[in-house]
Chain A
Amino acid sequence: KAGVTQTPRYLIKTRGQQVTLSCSPISGHRSVSWYQQTPGQGLQFLFEYFSETQRNKGNFPGRFSGRQFSNSRSEMNVSTLELGDSALYLCASSWRTGMETQYFGPGTRLLVL
């Protein structure tokens, strides 16, 4: 089975721009979660989508949003980028919601200049 895939792998943006990241879960998995990894804050949960509905949200500003499509693929959007948004954004999938094992993708490394 193919693993979780994320595109693009690397992105450079400037402050004020917006960015969209994409995640394709493992085949059959219907839950997709997003995490931000930075040297200072570590790994922090952004949000989870299951059956095209946001099920859970972390403590991030409204500039961070996401959505899930009927094929379980998910996108994450960050508007009005700030320098502090530079991070590795990880997507994880599980076959359902509710305390499941999550499998992670390789991440998208975002650099905001």
Chain B
Amino acid sequence: AQSVSQHNHHVILSEAASLELGCNYSYGGTVNLFWYVQYPGQHLQLLLKYFSGDPLVKGIKGFEAEFIKSKFSFNLRKPSVQWSDTAEYFCAVNANGANNLFFGTGTRLTVIP
């Protein structure tokens, strides 16, 4: 079945620690990949996206993600997290010409000052 998997449900880090959140998808064909973030009490915001080209994409607030086609993965990274990064992070995919997004279950990140 087509799906998007985020294996980390809740991650707790201290400030300045490095972050890597996993995302794997199971769609064949052409895919576009996204990471969205939902800060407490706020709406979903786009962090970064991959459509084509350089598999290492940079987003807002120092986040980056690497698309590894052979592993069907699109992991999110940040070298040094801040307390303000506390939020829920969603990986999403659209595929095969359709505009509907398929979301992972989300990863809640808690950064301890």
| A positions within 8 Å CB-CB of B | 31, 33, 35, 42-45, 48, 50, 55-56, 58, 90, 92, 94, 97-107
Contacts and interface: CB of A to CB of B under 8 A. Distances in A.
Of the candidates A33, A99, A106, the one having the most CB atoms from chain B within 10 angstroms of its own CB is A99
B32 interface: yes
A104 B90 contact: no
B63 interface: no
Nearest to B97: A98
Interface residues of B, number: 25
Nearest to B103: A43
A104 B44 contact: yes
B44 A45 contact: no
B36 A104 contact: yes
Contact of B100 (A33, A42, A107): A33
Contact of A101 (B49, B95, B97): B49
Contacts of B98: 56, 98-99
A94 B46 contact: no
Nearest to A44: B103
Contacts of B43: 90, 104-107
